[in-house]
Structure 1
Amino acid sequence: MPIQKSPGTIHRTVTLLESALGQLKADVPPSEIERIAVMVHRGMSRQHRSFHTPEHIFALADPDDPHGTLAALFHDLVYYHVDEGFEPEVGSMLLPFITTGSDGTVSLARDIPSGNRPFSGCCAVFGFGPGQELSPFAGLNEFLSALVMALLFEGVIADPDLLIATACIEATIPFRRADSNGDSPAVRLHKRLGETTETMSLDLDEEDLEWAVIRAVAFANRDVRNFAEEDVGRFLDNTWKLLPETNPALRIAGVYTIHSYRVAVQKMRGFLKSLDPSCVFQRYRTEPSDGEYTRLMELTRRNLDAAGTYLGVKFLTASILEAMATLTGGDAPVALFMGEMNNSGDASVLPEQLVDHLPPVNGDPRTDLDGTVYHLLEKGRASSTGFDLQNAPLSLFVYRSVGSEHLAETIAAAEAMHKDEIPPETFLASFPPGVIGAIAGAAAEMVWSRRIALRALAERF
């Protein structure tokens, strides 16, 4: 059977940009299309990214929607804190419009000429103004990404088309609530688009503005559709890809510490627990339909619930290891206790793992376990990552040993320990008899330098 070949990500980026510009009747030389596409590809391929990559562009782009395709190409181009700055060409374009602080803050410059249409247009669509400090959680990356797009295509793409693409990017600012007047983010965007149309004398009527907001909402909902995955494993897959983006300590497999890993999992769990499902997907007029919105909400709630339990078990397991490390010599690499991942590609020789030394769980399998979470821990997320196992055998051992009935109280004890409200010994004593002893005994087989102390813990618990 012949081998099938497909274009690479850089070629697909060039093709997407060429197609979108052609549909918008923009006259751009091939060499310029190549230059811009290469810049976008380079920016989306920076080393600290694991989710917001060129593949994310292709997941969002709709070949029949040139405005949405432009937004897909540019909406994540700037990822300031994860990238630890700007891609050089992007940075040189943005430098006249921003000021940066030594503490990582980014503000809009105060002395931008009022006649600068790309800047004033983006400010109008986003509701920002000169001198404003931009929050990474409320539009910093989206605004600067849209500004790069506007600067590149001023006078090349018609202003109304550029406005619609900018609106699509603005709509991707995530997890926003209605304001004090009850206006949703989409309603507020519609109002700003109307004001921008008047201020910039654009040829857009009310029907055009309605259509623009509907397109923007549809695009924004595609950007977060992972929350409504039918397969919970795929939802967690993308959640896991975000961990090394937002937690630099996890970027080097085999080196990050137990404490760093626990903090990363705890932060993600806290975020998902606090997330209001009604703030994930947006609505405007008939987009999406009532039936589709109900489906999205039901899947989002289910996925958040399952992820909360899964992350709770992972957090609890990391807390056990952290307590043991604290009591036997201090923080250490996860790999020292757990064993290294098999990144060699050779399945015939596997690294020794802590779970190789665990006894079977005593008694019959518990009947109070969440079947979805059990499956995720046993079989794993949809794909592997470079920093963590796809499945979670130690967490599965903990989950089977503790059960759903006592999960909340042991998690509460872990949280109390991390707040220094109780000592590690008290936290470890909150588990059913034998659980901690089994894990400590298995860890003693892995960590020669702490074997005596770990065996003492095993005897104690």
Structure 2
Amino acid sequence: MKNSAINRIIKLFMNCFGKLKIDYDMTYIEEMSCLVHRSMDSFSRNFHNTGHVFKLSEGLSPLETLACIFHDVAYFQVDGGFPKGMEELLLQYVLVEEQKVFIHSKSKVPNNELFCICLDIFDFKYEQELSSMGGLNEFLSALIACAKLQNLLDKKQLITIMAIIEGTRPFRPTDQHGKSCFDYLEERLIALQKKYKDTPTPKESVRIVELALNFANKDVENFAFENSAEFLGNTWALLEESNTFLQNARVYTITDYRQVLQKMESFMNFLRPETVFHRYKKTPSQRKYDNLISRATRNIQIAREYLKVKVLTIGIIEAIALETGGDAPISMFLGDFPTSTNDVLLRAEYYLPQASVSSKLTLDPDVLMLIEKGRAQDASFDIKHSPTSTYVYKKIGREGVEKAYPVMTKALLGVISTKEFLKSLDRDVVVGIAKACSKISISRQGALEKIIAGK
């Protein structure tokens, strides 16, 4: 039996300080644990929560574990601000204006050596704007870790934790000189010796970077899952976490849902496997690194096609909605999502015709399995399997999806009409989906009948 999340965090802290032979006050351990628990298990967190910490912390050293506990404690854009109780601390160093975060000018920050070191480790400057993809959350999390641990750890230990958290800034490419973010992290750690006392030696800096590299790769290990259903399950958890309106599955619109999926599809198309996992000197081994890149490449490839089918499917439904009266709550056309296994709900997919795969069509068997059988877990805003997307994919195949996708994009951007888009599609697909939706959407039945009739 597992203990509660808050008590497991307390135990992690106790184990770390025990192994480091550091005396601690249990009241303070509890205070730090409550901060982490309150921040990471809030309503807005679906992936970067304490469960993520517990998975990552297995097999780590004490300093790595402490970095792990704090590395996602700040998540500004998802949480809607700073962790509760940390506002006064963080506002000494950063300024928030219209949801943008800036580092204060040098004259406005307290004289704090650890803050200056953190700036140097992250390669940030005074008055710089911090973005979510540019290290904002990692920087805030590192500042919180230092503030909470500075009376328990020495300077080198704190620098190690800051460097490990900096290493989790994701998806950074190797530059034109062939140097990675971890090569530059090593340089910045070594350079600390010229400005501060009691900082890591070059040899110690290399070891710290190796720890940061290993943890960074572990932080994104889901990209290398052998089971793509689990990888996509995590992707859907991230979708829900970064789009809080999806957490109420009965109120968002068809367009809302399509835009969220299309944003993720665009991200997957932008993403390169070599920016997901990194290698520093000989860590990890070449064989292990090649395996990570190979599995990430396949998962990203599957995710791209899976998302493209999903976006096209909801894009067809969106076009039908726009042609019959305008955008509407998604449940008005497809029905409510089940909230328990006992729910018996009217759903559009129950009325879809059977679709067999033509020998003339090409389909990725892994993508088909994921669409038809489902991701590893449900999300509150979506079901694991995708019956309507299965119908579309079986009817038109990969080539049909590739052909229809840009036409859909033009239609939903207003370059061409939605009617033109629907007419460009396989007629059976449009009629099959429109008939299924007509069984659900009471107010649009008359207009849907016109689409079914080809008017």
Provide the residue aligned with 2:120 in structure 1. Answer: 124
Provide the residue aligned with 1:261 in structure 2. Answer: 257
Provide the residue aligned with 1:295 in structure 2. Answer: 291
Provide the residue aligned with 2:440 in structure 1. Answer: 446
Q: In structure 2, what residue type is equivalent to 1:422?
A: I
Q: Please say if residues 352 and 433 of structure 2, whose CA atoms lie closer than 8 Å, have aligned partners that are also in contact.
A: yes
How do residues 32-431 of structure 1 correspond to structure 2 at under 5 angstroms?
32-102=28-98, 104-110=99-105, 111-112=107-108, 115-346=111-342, 349-361=343-355, 364=358, 368-431=362-425
Q: Please say if residues 119 and 147 of structure 1, whose CA atoms lie closer than 8 Å, have aligned partners that are also in contact.
A: yes
- The SS at the match of 1:368 is coil
Alpha-carbon distance, 1:367 to partner:
5.2
Alpha-carbon distance, 1:255 to partner:
1.1
Q: Please say if residues 16 and 63 of structure 1, whose CA atoms lie closer than 8 Å, have aligned partners that are also in contact.
A: no
1: distance between equivalents of 2:313 and 2:282? 45
- The SS at the match of 1:402 is helix
Alpha-carbon distance, 1:180 to partner:
4.2
- The SS at the match of 1:41 is helix
Q: Please say if residues 258 and 314 of structure 2, whose CA atoms lie closer than 8 Å, have aligned partners that are also in contact.
A: yes
2: distance between equivalents of 1:337 and 1:172? 41
2: distance between equivalents of 1:11 and 1:249? 31
Where structure 2 has 5 or more consecutive residues not aligned to the other structure, the ranges are: none
Query: Cα 1:437–1:88, aligned 2, differ >3 Å: closer, same or farther?
Result: same
Alpha-carbon distance, 1:412 to partner:
1.2
| 1:21 corresponds to 2:41 | no
Q: Please say if residues 189 and 200 of structure 2, whose CA atoms lie closer than 8 Å, have aligned partners that are also in contact.
A: no
Stretch of structure 1 that moved more, 27-36 or 265-274: 27-36
Alpha-carbon distance, 1:48 to partner:
1.1
1: distance between equivalents of 2:22 and 2:178? 39
Alpha-carbon distance, 1:178 to partner:
2.4
Alpha-carbon distance, 1:363 to partner:
7.2
2: distance between equivalents of 1:20 and 1:199? 30
Alpha-carbon distance, 1:99 to partner:
0.7
Alpha-carbon distance, 1:55 to partner:
0.5
Alpha-carbon distance, 1:262 to partner:
0.1
2: distance between equivalents of 1:141 and 1:58? 19
2: distance between equivalents of 1:359 and 1:428? 18
1: distance between equivalents of 2:370 and 2:45? 24
Q: TM-score, normalised by structure 2?
A: 0.97
Q: In structure 1, what residue type is equivalent to 2:226?
A: E
| 1:437 corresponds to 2:431 | yes
- The SS at the match of 1:96 is coil
Alignment RMSD: 1.6
Q: Please say if residues 192 and 199 of structure 2, whose CA atoms lie closer than 8 Å, have aligned partners that are also in contact.
A: no
- The SS at the match of 1:99 is strand
Q: In structure 2, what residue type is equivalent to 1:434?
A: D
Q: Please say if residues 378 and 393 of structure 1, whose CA atoms lie closer than 8 Å, have aligned partners that are also in contact.
A: yes
Alpha-carbon distance, 1:383 to partner:
0.8
Stretch of structure 1 that moved more, 35-44 or 16-25: 16-25
2: distance between equivalents of 1:112 and 1:180? 36
2: distance between equivalents of 1:114 and 1:84? 25
1: distance between equivalents of 2:447 and 2:34? 55
Alpha-carbon distance, 1:361 to partner:
2.0
Alpha-carbon distance, 1:199 to partner:
1.8
Alpha-carbon distance, 1:59 to partner:
1.5
Alpha-carbon distance, 1:364 to partner:
4.8
Query: Cα 1:363–1:146, aligned 2, differ >3 Å: closer, same or farther?
Result: closer
Stretch of structure 1 that moved more, 191-200 or 70-79: 191-200
1: distance between equivalents of 2:429 and 2:417? 18
Q: TM-score, normalised by structure 1?
A: 0.95
- The SS at the match of 1:88 is coil
Alpha-carbon distance, 1:9 to partner:
1.1
Deviations 1:86-113 (A, max 9, x none): 12212222121111102x1101111255
2: distance between equivalents of 1:365 and 1:47? 47
Deviations 1:311-353 (A, max 9, x none): 000000110110011011111111111111111441xx51011
Q: Please say if residues 19 and 63 of structure 1, whose CA atoms lie closer than 8 Å, have aligned partners that are also in contact.
A: no
Deviations 1:146-175 (A, max 9, x none): 001111122320111111111100000001
Q: In structure 2, what residue type is equivalent to 1:85?
A: G
